[in-house]
Amino acid sequence: MALYGMVMAFLACVGVPGGCFWLLWKHRHQINPHEDRDEALRIRAEDESFDFIRFMFVSYEPKCWYWEVVEMVRRVFMRGFLVVLIRGSFGQIAVCVVVTMVAIAFLVSRKPFLQLRKEDNVTVDEDAPLSP
Give the rounded distance of the alpha carbon of 113 from its chain centre. 10
pTM of the model: 0.77
Tell me the pLDDT of the chain (132 aa) as tens digits. Answer: 889 988 888 888 899 999 999 999 999 998 998 778 888 888 888 888 888 999 999 999 999 999 999 999 999 888 877 777 667 778 888 888 999 999 999 999 999 998 766 665 555 555 554 544
DSSP reduced 3-state for 70: helix
